Chain A
Amino acid sequence: MSPSTSLPSGLVAFVKRDCPTCELVVPVLQQISAKASLTVYTQDDPTFPPGIPAVDDTALEQSWHHQIETVPTLIRVEGGEERERVLGWQREEWEALTGIPALGDGLPALRPGCGSLSVDPSREAELSVRFGGSKLHARRVELAALEDEMEAMYTRGWSDGLPVVPPTEKRVLEMLEGTTRAPDDVIATVPPDLVACTVEKVAINAVMAGCKPEYLLVVLAAVEAACTDRFNMHGVIATTMGVGPIIVVNGPIRRAIGMNSGMNVLGQGNRANATIGRALQLVVRNVGGGRPGEVDRATYGNPGKLGFCFAEDEESSPWGPLSADLGAEPGTSTVTVFAGEGPRNVIDQRSREPMSLARSLAATLRTVQHPKLAIGFDAMLVIGPEHARVLKEAGWSKEQLIERLTELLTMPGEEMMRGVDEMAEGMPESFRSQPVTKFRPGGLLVVHCGGSAGLFSAILGGWASGPKGSQPAVQEIRP
């Protein structure tokens, strides 16, 4: 500890005016001050306590360095070393520590103290930046005096096109409160530059995306899932097709962080939905180096590449969660990443029996990428609550729905051939004499969410599927 932060020998007290126990012990402090060497550090008002010259610690430097959690705290110091401390007012303990008898005559024997301002959650991160010596490793970038800080984020190439929150050390430290993992923990290798990505770098980008600290563990899980060989983020970045990573969140975390799984679920307006997906894409951009026009070669892209994240409505779903279909334990919090496009709405306001509804869904699913192309692309079918009700009332399980859709989406190969219906595009000749199913086994995912009004569902078309392209990847969210 530097000389400037070491405590003077004798007795030392930390107090604040805004604490009834500190007010209570003012006569005791005066009593001690008359008989012994007492130094009082005051956290909020240098004129407190009255009658005793107090040391101004409104900057909280001494309080922070000496890990004061309670006021009043009374400490005995010998030769710069702390020997003993008492928290709150406890007459016997104070008498023993000071060696002065009959302290605080007329006061209750015991009164707990109040919280020290140095552990106030709203100030802790700032104090740790100011006094702590940083645990963060990222390069510090000092903005020029005349530089606008929002513009500076753009000129350095750090933005996805929308304003980002400047990642100050204080904000990043606050963000890191959202996980128990160490800032230098490497969680993934991010393509395309194959960079070892630390928790700290994810936290920086999560700040920029506008995340709250409690979203960080979801972002971390999404980065982990996206950077697996299974999901193949490299291919998803580099493709000319218009897909991006879509994140579906399952489990208790959805409610804990206030995610939207209802009205406008795939749209704007919910901070968690909007910023978690954006944080993943900023990690890909800034850490991995995946930028449009460079390795990102998309012909069109889609607006979801700014960030696409939503929660499943598990509470009113007739079925188990998507995560369980992909092997996760039901009830655990997970992210699932799926390489997909923007949503396509499916209207069916007439069907009241499930087979009719399945036919409507199949007819639209058939158009994913091209009605005469099959097997090569997955899809995520987002069943709306009103459509789910039709299926639930008929007693259809999710497996049954997928089975019926698979039957409806199986066509004679000859109808899918190149040139059929006067369209050159289609399946190659080798499929002519066999039935062709639109989606590979496991290639049609079903998730339940959306507003409670509207006999609609939505389809998220996928990218090159299977081990040669991208497969949906589920990742448990860990603290």
Chain B
Amino acid sequence: MTSEQRVVLDPTSEQKPKSIPRAPRLASLEKRTIGLLDISKPKGNVFLDRVEQELRALGATVERFQKPTFAKLAPVDLRHEIATRCDAVVEALAD
């Protein structure tokens, strides 16, 4: 290689991932709204039903959400709805 060939072009996105701090952890579940997101994989609902029971027993309000398909990203409106209505979210991967 000649010296000119020792310089190559970056094939990547050159993106620098932004660091986003985690949301503050909840001190208690009392009177908090917890979203449960079913990604539409088989039996995700079975898992989330049980999680819902446990959360209610701890005093939380539970809202259920579902992605239209596990194979694609959650639609932006769904993400917005969860973010505005819930204090925290639990997402169920399943199979």
Contacts and interface: CB of A to CB of B under 8 A. Distances in A.
Contacts of B71: 232, 235, 239, 464, 468-470
B4 A138 contact: no
Contacts of B15: 193, 195
A130 to B, nearest CB: 8
A202 to B, nearest CB: 10
Nearest to A204: B11
Contacts of B1: 149, 166
Interface stretch (A109-117, A217-225, A284-292): A284-292
A74 interface: no
B10 A138 contact: yes
Interface string B42-79: 00000000000000000000000000110111000000
> Which secondary structure dominates where chain A touches chain B?
mixed
Interface string A276-287: 000000100011
A287 B13 contact: yes
A141 B10 contact: yes
Nearest to A164: B11
Interface range, B side: 10 to 19
B7 interface: yes
Interface string A124-160: 0000011000001011111101000100100000100
B20 interface: no
A475 B6 CA distance: 36
A438 interface: no
A138 B72 contact: no
A205 B11 CA distance: 6
Interface stretch (A168-176, A250-258, A340-348): A168-176
A8 interface: no
A193 B10 CA distance: 17
Contacts of B4: 129-130, 168-170
B13 A138 contact: no
A201 interface: yes
A139 B5 contact: no
A141 B71 CA distance: 36
Interface in A424-475: 464, 467-470
Nearest to A196: B13
Interface string B1-26: 10011111111111100000000000
Nearest to A153: B8
> Which secondary structure dominates where chain B touches chain A?
loop
Contacts of B5: 149, 166, 168, 170
Interface range, A side: 35 or more
B7 A142 contact: yes
Contacts of B72: 229, 232, 234-235, 468
A469 B71 CA distance: 6
A405 to B, nearest CB: 26
Given A234-B73, A287-B12, A143 B68 contact: no
Interface in A180-231: 190, 193, 195, 197, 200-201, 204-205, 208, 229
B68 A204 contact: no
A170 B8 CA distance: 9
Contact of A167 (B6, B9, B14, B68): B9
A258 B13 CA distance: 31
A136 B9 contact: yes
A205 B12 CA distance: 9
B6 A172 contact: no
15 contacts: A138-B14, A139-B10, A140-B7, A141-B9, A149-B8, A166-B5, A167-B9, A169-B9, A232-B71, A232-B72, A239-B71, A282-B11, A287-B13, A289-B13, A469-B71
Closest 7 CB pairs of A and B: A235-B71, A468-B69, A139-B10, A138-B9, A195-B13, A286-B11, A204-B11
Given A138-B14, A464-B71, 16 more contacts: A138-B10, A139-B14, A140-B7, A141-B8, A141-B9, A142-B6, A158-B12, A167-B11, A172-B9, A193-B13, A204-B9, A204-B10, A229-B72, A286-B11, A287-B11, A468-B69
